[in-house]
Amino acid sequence: MSVLLTNIGELVTNDPEHGGSRQATGAAARAVGSGGAGLGIVPGAAVVVEAGRVAWTGPAASAPAADVAVDLGGRCVIPGFVDSHSHTVFAGDRSAEFAARMTGEPYTGGGIATTVAATRAAGEDTLRARGQALVREMLAQGTTTVEIKSGYGQDVATEARTLRIARELTPETTYLGAHTVPAEYADDRPGYLRLVTGPMLAACAPHARWIDVFCEPAAPTAFDEDESRAVLLAGIRAGLGARVHGNQLSAGPGVRLAVEVGAASVDHCTHLTDADIDALAGSWSAGPGSHGSGGPQGSGTVATLLPAVEFSTRSPYPDARRLLAAGVPVALATDCNPGSGYSSSMPFVVALAVREMRMSPAEALWSATAGGAAALRRDDVGHLGVGARADLTVLDAPSHTYLAYRPGVPLVSEVWKDGARAG
């Protein structure tokens, strides 16, 4: 059955057919800064959905017939948000840690051990219920694609269990056994590295699409450059794509290591050197086989920014303008987790990106949709071109600008996922 969604006041497509480019290149990343040129906006629009996919977009006056018509009352429609970085399967609570930070205690990443202990002790039903609740919460706020990491088990059984549950919720699952070194291996880092790249990887790889590592020399329980490289290369050999937590707490090797191994995304990017910016920009201009994964031209490393973390930790925000000026594609994601940023709201992230990182409303929306899709190397989400998944978010507002213009207001009136109204 085909469905005509009509009387759309403003349709954001991220589709080149409508005057913008959804391709995650430096040119497209720059284009979204000029009045929304990269968003492929259609005023007075309609969308035809069939078999879970977008079958047609354009002016409502030219829309073809469909089996069912739905009047959206002049509201704005955008692609569903693509949240490409989250940690939503866990147990426990770290609100006391948050309260301490708000009175001046710095964030060091050490609180991860608290969540590890709670997650190891939790039953499977408890972990599943928490993950399901957070994904429902995300969907209600317009997120239709989400990535979920492990990393709160740090033993073979709990990491594998976390990923099995995550796989029930999304195909975008990431093995993050190398989140931190657990207490029992504090005096045997090589032993934990052997576990992460050996038995734990073997147990987790069947349930994961990606491998990730917290490459942060400034954090004593995280991983240095050589350790991080060993983790990523082991995952790549096991058939997983690479992602990196990099440059969150200090300038370090994370960004350049991500580019070296051909990672799809390097996330946080709070402290960047000129060499880091050059490496990210170069990953998009280099030809096939120019970096570790031999990725094709046009599939470089996205810089994924997580401003809800800076909000929650009172840390400096990443310099998005510097990345965009260099032609580096930027994604925005929540990093929803119990310690450094417990928000599931992509609209909140968009508002933070506009206010605190000086992104335009158009840049922020592109990064939260098409940018997130690029960070997951997906071409079927993050845009509303013909053939894309029919994942749409309907705003109770006339324009996408309202996401930042009215921060904190629940503007998402309905969400369509795979061509059906969700919820």
Binding-site residues from annotation? 85, 87, 94, 152, 179, 245, 248, 335, 337, 339-340
Which residues are part of a known binding site for Fe(3+)? 85, 87, 245, 335
Enter the tokens of residue 76.
Answer: 């704005």
Question: Residue 219: helix, strand or coil by DSSP?
Answer: coil
60 and 44 Cβ atoms separated by less than 8 Å:
yes
Enter the tokens of residue 338.
Answer: 């119990």
DSSP letters for 269-307: --S--HHHHHHHHHHHHS-TTSSTT-PPTT---EEEE-H
243 and 174 Cβ atoms separated by less than 8 Å:
yes
264 and 298 Cβ atoms separated by less than 8 Å:
no
Among 72, 90, 58, 98, which Cα is nearest to 7's?
72
CA angle 134/136/138 to nearest 5° reads: 70
Which residues are part of a known binding site for Zn(2+)? 85, 87, 245, 335
- E strands, 278-364, in order: 302-305, 330-332
Helical H segments across 51-198, by residue range: 95-102, 112-121, 124-140, 156-169, 189-197
Residue in this structure with the two tokens 């929540």, named with its chain if needed = 334
Which residues are part of a known binding site for N-formimidoyl-L-glutamate? 152, 337, 339
Please report which helix (H) or strand (E) contains residue 421, including its range.
strand 420-421
Report the C-alpha gap between 423 and 420 in whole angstroms: 10
Question: Residue 51: helix, strand or coil by DSSP?
Answer: coil
Q: Which residues contact 94 (CB under 8 A, 6 or more apart)?
A: 111, 114, 115, 338, 339, 342
302 and 243 Cβ atoms separated by less than 8 Å:
no
Report the C-alpha gap between 142 and 78 in whole angstroms: 9
Question: Residue 31: helix, strand or coil by DSSP?
Answer: helix
Which residues are part of a known binding site for 4-imidazolone-5-propanoate? 94, 152, 179, 248, 340
